[in-house]
Amino acid sequence: MAPVAPPSQTRTFVRRFDSLTNADVPLVGGKNASLGEMIGALKEQGIRVPDGFATTADAYWTYVEANDLEDRLTDHLDAMAAGEQSLSETGAAIRECIRGGRVPEAMADAIRTAYRELSAAYDSDAIDVAARSSATAEDLPEASFAGQQESFLNVRGAEAVLEACKNCFASLFTDRAITYRQEQGFDHMQVALSVGIQKMVRADKAGVLFTIDTESGFPDAILINAAWGLGETVVKGTINPDQYTVFKPLLDRESLVPIIGKRRGDKAQKMVYAEAGDAPTTTVETTEEERRAFVMSDDEILTLARWGRIIEAHYDRPMDIEWAHDGETGELYIVQARPETVQSRQAAGVLRTYRLKETGDRLVTGLSIGQSIAEGPVQVIQSAEEIDRFEEGGILVTQMTDPDWGPILKKAAGIVTDRGGRTSHAAIVSRELGIPAVIGTGNATEVLPDGREVTLSCVEGTEGYVYAGRLDYETKELDLDSLPDTDTRIMLNVASPDAALNWWKLPVEGIGLARMEYIVNNVIQVHPMALVAFEQVEDEAARTEIERLTRGYADKAEYFVDHLSRGIATIAASQYPHPVLVRLSDFKTNEYANLIGGQAFEPHEENPMLGWRGASRYYSDEYRDGFALECRAIRRVRETMGFTNVVVMVPFCRTPEEADRVLEVMAEHGLTRGENTLQVYVMAEIPSNVLQADDFAERFDGFSIGTNDLTQLVLGVGRDAERLSALFDERNPSVKRMITDLIDQAHAADRPVGICGQAPSDHPDFAEFLVEAGIDSISVIPDSVADVIQHVAEAERRRQRQATSSRVL
């Protein structure tokens, strides 16, 4: 039974946004209540929200009553429940009933008057508005109705507004909305619909903002998607938008630019105002210039991020926000805000991880959504009309999805789309359902045939992959609250910036090794000298690829600095304010030569492992300009972005004199040890580092032991020598004595010692030895954190018992 509308003389049909607060959700729905809340509470903090008004639940029930709709709607719903009518037949019939009704005169007059007053406020007789549906139970943290009802853009004139209201009322019974309410346990006839009539922003660019990382749940990131034109292309996932990531805690400092991620989308289309015809909007192809350019400037990104942080603080929860930039006035606006309903509700104390145990041919690549793995047969579905042929447990492959695809998505083991971004419908629903998705591949529907067995992997960073065949994988669930505390600092070894944010829940205190060469090899791909001395690259294929990669950069060297600085900043953000030790590049000459353009700058060496690597490169004339780019990137991370928790680490430094030369070159590029809290560590991986530890301690702030190189140089066994692999053991007494001696000498000089090799992860007894030796920190790969913490805690307890026993005796 539908609620009874109050007597006509007491009904309120319209409420101005500025008269609404969050307490008015039952009256105007979550979307409209939120707009009023922001106008009333956040306007003084500089946040702009287009003005407007909302029809009320009273208006909806008055419309239902005046047109005798209750019985007709109930009859159709009952027929569907009895199996006498299909979902599509029921939805179509109900929508036709609602659209065919007449707006009661008193209600129509109230809407016309509100529209005229809104137009007058903008010095116009008739402004263009957006009519947005807002269900009275919508956008609550417990139930997000986002995308279930319709919005209508560029509506102009009082009569057009009335027609838009009827269409919004009808959209309360879209097929997807009917299905959603049934699944959520809402009575169809107890939910009303409010229509928000909001001044249209003539957007030349628009998008979505989340105040939480949508994949990892990392709470200190703000994620912004942006595209040209109106925001519907981003919301509905019809294009691959730009993506920007901002580090929230450093936004307080106006002098900083903490934009840690910028990814350019292809933005193939944009929705714009129609110049003629019946349709108010039209979708057109973007220009080549628009596709190559970033949609937003850094100032705009930071303004939006600061607004997002203010809105999140006001609501005291992570938020999902839609924004638009007015191309005529140049001003930014917030047009919607609702609670984020996926990551914010995940259990904080549990970490579930997936790992592939084998590899296969990589078939397509896209954005990684979901941090899990799925396998199954490909099922290519071109449109929602083919939903009935989808079989449960398959991998759905399609161009894009919209809310009408709800029934099929619940059956899928994984989703792969040609188009869309992290805020597209497919991405949002996959998170809600807890299934992985690879979004925006560009060609999945062409490359993946029906029936092919594949494995979908979303556990390798921000990029997701579809592999041929069913690959073996494992799943682990870790109860973080059960792990003991340790006096020894436990840190992470991290290489990939894309994966760094995934591990924020782990109970660690920083990163003991961030490998710069991973970013150079996998993100930048180009030899740094090929960028600063491009004219010396004679290989035409290399020149062509470098031109392609650096497109949009007037200075090719800036391409290197930009990507390296953002990669380092992302890693630093994941553990801020804990220390993050960034190792300067430690490629061997053969590895450098394999970078694009590298052949022109690298000599051939018979034994690159003991050749021109590490510190020896940084002050050499042949690489000095390349090293300058590394220094520029680190300086930008620390000074421009604000990540002063970054500690620089110098690898393979053979002598104290070489250390002096490296520190001198760093200072020339603005990285002076001790200034702006800059600390510089040295890798202890050569016997000379131990034998002259007192001299190195005068030049560096700390030591980090690299067990692989130290072991091979102490034992004379190549780390990659297969025939001698049985002899390569970090637990050899000679290696352990080296470590013990280094710790003793470093502590005598008041210098900390950490270890960042693989040995503590592989050998529990080695971790226990390190505790006994007095190591200050142990840095391990993420998968090993739990085991190492437990081994270290047990070793510390045993050490404490022994110390207590000795005192008693």
The set of catalytic residues is 425, 756
Q: What tokens were used for 51?
A: 């003005």
Burial letters for 602-613: b for 16+ Cβ neighbours within 10 Å, e otherwise? beeeeebbeebb
248: Cβ contacts below 8 Å, ≥ 6 apart: 211, 219, 220, 221, 222, 305, 309
d(CA 286, CA 306): 29
Burial letters for 109-124: b for 16+ Cβ neighbours within 10 Å, e otherwise? ebbbebbeebbeeeee
Q: Are 5 and 11 in contact (CB under 8 A)?
A: yes
d(CA 253, CA 249): 9
Q: Are 629 and 561 in contact (CB under 8 A)?
A: yes
Q: What tokens were used for 641?
A: 């972005």
With CA atoms as reference, report the closest residue to 260 among 567, 52, 485: 567
Q: What tokens were used for 157?
A: 């004139």
Stretch (H or E) spanning 547: helix 540-549
With CA atoms as reference, report the closest residue to 432 among 401, 406, 459: 406
d(CA 286, CA 229): 9
34: Cβ contacts below 8 Å, ≥ 6 apart: 22, 139, 336, 337, 338
d(CA 353, CA 335): 36
How many CB atoms within 10 Å of residue 30? Answer: 29
698: Cβ contacts below 8 Å, ≥ 6 apart: 656, 749
